[in-house]
Chain A
Amino acid sequence: MEERSYQRKPVVKIREMKDDYMKFELRNTDASVANALRRVMIAEVPTVAIDLVEIEVNSSVLNDEFIAHRLGLIPLTSERAMSMRFSRDCDACDGDGQCEYCSVEFHLRAKCVVDQTLDVTSKDLLSSDHTVVPVDFNEIAGDETSEQKGVMIVKLRRGQELRLRAIARKGIGKDHAKWSPAATVTFMYEPEININEDMMARLSLEDKQSIVESSPTKVFDIDPTTQQVVVVDAEAYTYDDEVIKKLESMGKTGLIDIKAKEDSFIFTVETTGAVKASQLVLNAIEILKQKLDAVRLSDDTVEADDQFGELGAHMRGG
């Protein structure tokens, strides 16, 4: 059998990068890879989140489970999560959260003694480990001045008290959404817009204007100098076919041709703040690699070699 490699060299080009937001292009690969990356980012990049809550005193209006659920959803900084152990795999402890490899302990003590309501927020959560703390959104926004107080947990009236011990553990989004580091991970196919210049030149200005206006997003515009319809922002196109429909109704089918490039994707990644957006992508790639390794090295793969043939060889790096 002829050895033929399907290997492609994907290219990533970063367009925009902030702590919790990133936009990048992924080229020279196909939807399966792009989607795998997206799925891993959502569901399999580990973070740390509160998983066990021991309530000592709770005289607030919200009940224990309610507060526990809210605590779980608070994003914690999880740069260390990749190197931590899952508490179920931890040898050093029996998963009760005392060991440093798999868990972090938090304490919360709040009591309202004044007449105003007291807001208990994620800032009141005291961590035993300075690397795992509730995400500070002011820091991300770069806004030190504003009085944002973190994620609200409960409001206390005079005399009410909340005292608890919480244990955060490593986990992945597949088990519970609280461990998902991704707020939004999405991609789109890069659109390729071709304007038939000859046909366009023959149109009147009103027609051109109506074509430009037919798109709900600002994709086209009229060049002020040449009076030609030009593409100003191809990525603003939402594949809504409005322009195509408009042209059809005008009887100018083929004037503008829009295709999705099958091998280029524009990713948008937003994180909860648990990890940096860039780190999230890197972690996702790392995990994807580990997963592929797991497939490649498993006994089943070797056995299935006959069935998969060259694909099996390809996966083993051939």
Chain B
Amino acid sequence: MGAESLAGGEPSTVEQLIDRQKLAAPIKTAVDKFQLVPEFLKVRGLVKQHLDSFNYFVNIGIKKIVRANDRIASTVDPSIYIRFKDVRIGTPTVVVDGVSDKLAPHTCRLSDMTYTAPILVDIEYIQGSNDQKYRREKRDISIGRMPVMLRSQCCVLYGKDEAELAKLGECPLDPGGYFVVKGTEKVILIQEQLSKNRIIIDTDKKGNLTASVMSSTEATKSKTVIVMEKGKMYLSLNQFTTKIPIMVVMKAMGIESDQEVVQMLGRDPRYSALLLPSLEECASLDIFTQEKALKYLDNKKDGRALSILRDIFLANVPVHNNNLRPKCIYVAVMLRRMMEAILNKDAMDDKDYVGNKRLELSGQLISLLFEDLFKTMITEVERQIDYGLTKKVRSSQSDPSQYLLRDSISNGLERALSTGNWDVKRFRMNRKGVTQVLARLSFIGSLGYLTKIMPQFEKSRKVSGPRALQPSQWGMLCPCDTPEGEACGLVKNLALMTHVTTDEEDGPLISLCYCLGVEDLELLSGEELHTPNSFLVMFNGLILGKHRRPQHFAHAMRKLRRACKIGEFVSIFVNEKQRVVYIASDGGRVCRPLVIADKGISRVKEHHMKELLDGVRTFDDFLREGLIEYLDVNEENNALISLYEGETTPETTHIEIEPFTILGVIAGLIPYPHHNQSPRNTYQCAMGKQAMGNIAYNQLCRMDTLLYLLVYPQRPLLTTRTIELVGYDKLGAGQNATVAVMSYSGYDIEDAIVMNKSSLDRGFGRCIVMKKASCIMNRRYDSGASDRIVRPRGLDKDRERILDVDGLAAPGQIIRPNDIYINKESPTETRDHKSAEALADMKYRPSMQSHKGPEGESCVVDRVALSTDKNNNMCIKLIIRHTRRPELGDKFSSRHGQKGVCGTIIQQEDFPFSERGICPDLIMNPHGFPSRMTVGKMIELLGSKAGVSCGRFHYGSAFGEPSGHADKVDAISETLVRHGFSYNGKDMIYSGITGCPLQAYIFMGPIYYQKLKHMVLDKMHARGMGPRVMLTRQPTEGRARNGGLRVGEMERDCLIAYGASMLIFERLMLSSDPFEVQVCEACGLLGYYNHKLRSAFCSTCKNGDNIATMKLPYACKLLIQELQSMNIVPRLKLQEA
């Protein structure tokens, strides 16, 4: 594909290329595997993680939850019960006046609804009472409504083609993966957490070595920590208030003999030596039997020690028939790992290692929420049934199924999604900000939301470890895309080809392991566990047993995976250091596809790729035939992955598909990012999200509160493969501007850019800002009256100018500040109910809505939409549009983190021109280059210049030069020379003012420029007189309130240092809150002025003799009075000045 597209313009070079290839390639050339990337994205989609996770919940997760809690039985009469036989999510519908109607997501966006589908259950229940009981069945009973993720399996958009999507008002390029809740689009961010059920060896705050396990099962969640203090091991568990010597715990679990513990640890005498202090401590406590140990523990926790050990301590290890032996072995393994870590510091676990992390996706989060709500509903229904039975109602035909129809599940889900507060008491979970509004600033920005990963830590922690770039992030998480500032390095983004796994059924896998020769734990003695010739086998953090031929076992498992006999995301990782084979099938691991190589020879051959291009082979076929497999971060450690096919050695096991896939969606927009200084790419990742452009194909049918659109967006002349893959070439956010890198006019210092007025006249950087104004008509007040819209009465002709006869502003009308756009009237009496006659002659007061905007800005009413909200109130929405051309101070940026404001706008005739007649659109100061080191931008300029000359889009994919996905500078220069330009991209330029040639050659060519959303018009602010805050009588704060400009502490310091005391006096008092007070010189308290008697009076001294009048800031007077109210008496002592 790459070679083919190269063929575009220049047949001569391609011929050379082919010849050279034929001659220089004695064996065969590397297979171009690029085509796998689009194929992967076609199969998996950009946000497949979210969709997969939600689909898993809908298909499997929800069924599991319901099956686990499928019976509601009355406590009064246990024979009366409801049993859930099946559960499923229906198709999204809306119930209007009792009739359910199909629902499309765009309808929800427009009319502020939630995009939900009913949760349908099949039930079996007993109807009747004591004597007469019938078993009844009901199908398709709705127990609530589930918000539906767009493009998931239960969404109406699932599997629709472009035309069908357009019919539903949906943009085909929109990736889905979010919810529509009350009309706003909400994303459940990917949450990053430490893996559950895994042993993590780390040090705590005091520097003590710890081994911790976060246990998480369906029933309980707990954290078990074994800590080493002064050479002795202790267990620290939340349920016990103090630390417990570990040997006591072992004894309490039935391992009474010290020797057995030592055997479990393994033969190495160093281990037993390290355990000795703990053994001695246990002996000093005089605990030798299980009984004594339990008694000791019971003292710590009133008699529940055994149940704590059984149910909470290491809850992930299952206990059958009170057999605690597996737990003992687990503890022994933990101790062993700790001791290894003491002897060898390398054995410590790195918490920041991506393999120790799990990503929690929307499906898992919703599943937690649903489980909680479902259980709450069950208890509620149970209570209702009992109440119904005890009440002894005469209608003995009471139907328990009627109690199921409750809104609690629907409301709970909707509330959590719209607020983002995951408050699940049952699982001791209290998270805020789980969901975010999907901001539609730019297409790329909204894509970015769907790949964003939120950290589990507090953002304020000032540690560098979790923020640093981890080598294990390679290919999984984007190395560029992270915000600046406090969340830097904590908030991450997925790379292009990353997949996040979902849970997989573990039963068959476990039995498979046993079939492949894993020796069962139950059958092994402690001694046998750690024999030197065998490896432990751990499955999802659980010890299965041991295996004598670990490599053989791993190989067999992998072979089964490649043959698709087990799930493709199961990871098999042989840890030689720990002598453990880890098998993982749990959800939330990140993994990515890689080409399998045998002895360094790629399994993907040319004919495979050809079949792919011809469309007879899909990505899944590659997986099914074992040409490609998914590796997670841990298994990558067992692989030797070569970057290119040509670089393989016989040890190579895998080959990368394409190197540029290590970057994410947003960093993928940068051309030649590998030539830039790294922080520049990070800056661009933040700025690309603020760039204006096209939002979606349905952008003009949307009713967003704020929408920025570019009038003439273009696709970049210098593209990357990622740009084509994500559709940025169809929904661009910028324009190709001819840039001259030179200094001009002095208005270009500090990154300011000089713009050509004619370019602006012709539409460069022109944008449309759409704002929403909305109003809800209250249908029914308590009095029975409702709001109404009336036709303009002609009372205020000027302000009613844009109203239609229906009382609403007409689309297309120019709206000015203070113009009325909804002529609404509200009833004067809204309280108690009124009779029909009273309603008929109800008085109404005007409550019209008028446009608030800056004076002199002429906006246009774009659209008026009427809809009904869920309370059946009419809701009127107006979109007000404003077209803006760039002006001084508007912010622009290239794709290389080089932002700048427009410094001046200059006539075209004054602009420099080349003898070909090329005149730049903007001028950028060359000082922007040396310190930023954005070489990529220079190559972009060269490449775009060559591109416009020869008529072919050039490519600049990351690390793309060797594979032909980025044009080389040499080739670009050749193209330039062929079209009569200098090879270095510089042109001879004449000054537009004098007509003389400039002394230097000017680097000039097209660069893709983005207009950022920060515009002067929205920010500029000044005020003289204006509003004041009522309490302090000081000027208000902020532009929105027309606030004053504050002379802050530092500005004040300057004035003090300068000695401008009168200026300080003026600024801090006279221009702020001067107030005249009467002070009693006798008592020092404030008096007042009696206007009737025209004299001042001190209310404390009860006279007006010693009153002085002075000026004080009102805030000071307020402070004095507030202090007085707290029984503190501030007294003023006055002196003549």
Contacts and interface: CB of A to CB of B under 8 A. Distances in A.
B758 interface: yes
B916 A186 contact: yes
Shortest 6 CB-CB contacts between residues of A and residues of B: A35-B995, A184-B917, A177-B761, A177-B758, A188-B915, A186-B917
A186 B758 CA distance: 16
A121 interface: no
B988 A43 contact: no
A32 interface: yes
Nearest to A262: B996
A64 B812 contact: yes
Contacts of A24: none
B917 A242 contact: no
B860 interface: yes
Given A176-B761, A177-B757, A216 B909 contact: no
Contact of A63 (B881, B983, B988): B881
A178 B758 CA distance: 8
Given A65-B883, A238-B988, 19 more contacts: A35-B994, A36-B995, A38-B909, A43-B908, A63-B883, A66-B711, A66-B768, A173-B909, A174-B907, A177-B762, A178-B761, A185-B917, A186-B914, A189-B997, A216-B976, A216-B982, A236-B980, A239-B997, A270-B917
Interface residues of B, number: 39
Given A65-B860, A186-B915, A39 B977 contact: no
Interface string A255-272: 000001000000010100
A58 interface: yes
A203 interface: no
Contacts of A86: none
A23 to B, nearest CB: 12
A73 B758 CA distance: 11
A216 B980 contact: yes
B883, B908, B913, B992 — which one has the most chain A CB atoms within 10 A of its CB? B908
A69 interface: yes
Contacts of A65: 768, 860, 881, 883
Interface of A: 31-32, 34-36, 38-39, 42-43, 55, 58, 61, 63-66, 69, 73, 173-174, 176-178, 180, 184-189, 216-217, 236, 238-242, 260, 268, 270
A177 B761 CA distance: 6
A63 B995 contact: no
Contacts of A55: 812
Given A176-B761, A186-B914, A31 B768 contact: no
18 contacts: A31-B996, A39-B909, A39-B992, A43-B907, A43-B909, A64-B812, A65-B860, A73-B763, A173-B908, A174-B907, A176-B761, A177-B759, A180-B908, A186-B915, A216-B981, A238-B915, A240-B1001, A270-B917
B3 interface: no
B997 A260 contact: yes
Contact of B862 (A63, A176, A189): A63
Given A31-B996, A184-B917, A216-B980, A69 B766 contact: yes
Interface string B261-279: 0000000000000000000
B343 interface: no
A55 B914 CA distance: 40
B1064 to A, nearest CB: 48
Contacts of B996: 31
Contacts of B994: 31-32, 35
A32 B995 contact: yes
Interface string B480-524: 000000000000000000000000000000000000000000000
B76 interface: no
A268 B12 CA distance: 32
Interface string B748-760: 0000000001110
Contacts of B1001: 240-241
A9 B646 CA distance: 71
B809 to A, nearest CB: 15
B1116 interface: no
Contact of B860 (A36, A63, A178, A239): A63
A176, A178, A236, A238 — which one has the most chain B CB atoms within 10 A of its CB? A238
Contacts of B1129: none
Contacts of B976: 216
A66 B916 CA distance: 31
Contacts of A35: 992-995
A35 B992 CA distance: 7
Interface in B973-992: 976-977, 980-983, 987-988, 990, 992
Contacts of A184: 917
B995 to A, nearest CB: 3
A50 B993 CA distance: 29
Contacts of B1: none
Contacts of A64: 812, 860
A241 B768 CA distance: 46
Contact of A268 (B759, B883, B917): B917
A172 B768 CA distance: 27
A39 to B, nearest CB: 4
Contacts of B163: none
Contacts of A73: 762-763
Contacts of B909: 38-39, 42-43, 173-174
A216 B982 CA distance: 6
B995 A38 contact: yes
Contacts of B68: none
A242 B997 CA distance: 17
A34 B914 contact: no
A186 B913 contact: yes
A61 B757 CA distance: 27
Interface in B852-907: 860, 862, 881, 883, 907
Contacts of A42: 908-909
B907 A58 contact: no
Interface in B698-750: 700, 711
Contacts of A174: 907, 909
Nearest to B756: A177
B985 to A, nearest CB: 11
Nearest to A55: B812
A32 B995 CA distance: 6
B995 A31 contact: yes
A38 B759 CA distance: 18
Contacts of A38: 909, 995
Contacts of B768: 63, 65-66
Interface in B913-953: 913-917
Contacts of A189: 997
A71 to B, nearest CB: 13
A43 B992 CA distance: 12
Nearest to B814: A64
Nearest to B768: A63
A74 B909 CA distance: 21
A69 B916 CA distance: 28
Contacts of B759: 177
A211 to B, nearest CB: 15
B758 A173 contact: yes
B977 A216 contact: yes
Contacts of A188: 915, 990
B169 to A, nearest CB: 14
A187 B988 CA distance: 12
A242 B981 CA distance: 11
Nearest to B914: A186
Contacts of B757: 177
B906 to A, nearest CB: 12
A217 B988 CA distance: 13
A101 to B, nearest CB: 25
A142 B860 CA distance: 43
Contacts of B766: 69
Contacts of A63: 768, 860, 862, 881, 883
B879 to A, nearest CB: 11
A43 B915 CA distance: 18
Interface in B786-839: 812
Nearest to A42: B909
